Amino acid sequence: MDRNLEGGKMAEIKFRFEDLTMNEKALDFVSLSYGRCKNFPKNEDYAFCSPFTKAPTSIALSIAEGSSDTDKQLRTKNTNL
């Protein structure tokens, strides 16, 4: 039986980064940047809006990636070589 199933329903998976205030602020920043880009003319989509929305998204993704146990395991493995 799949570990993610409880009584035939998907179990809610909670990740450590979801409780971080920093993660909440990063997601707010993502929402703000997408909201601001809606007000720009269409011809600015690639020149301005694309990098303006990619940067905050990258921040949020980096927080999620950096909070994983895998990163600690790799650091420990690399320092023990």
pTM, full prediction = 0.63
Domain housing 43: 25-65
Asked whether residue 12 is assigned to any structural domain, the reply reads no
Domain count, the chain: 1
Asked whether residue 71 is assigned to any structural domain, the reply reads no
Per-chain mean pLDDT for the chain: 78
pLDDT for residue 47 = 84
8 Å CB contact between 27 and 60: yes
**pLDDT at residue 19 tops 60:** yes
**pLDDT at residue 71 tops 60:** no
Alpha helices in 1-81 (DSSP H): 21-37, 50-66, 69-79
pLDDT for residue 1 = 43
Overall average pLDDT of the 33-58 stretch: 88
Burial of 26 (0-12, 13-18, 19+ CB in 10 A): buried
Tokens 């009584």 identify what position? 7
pLDDT for residue 48 = 85
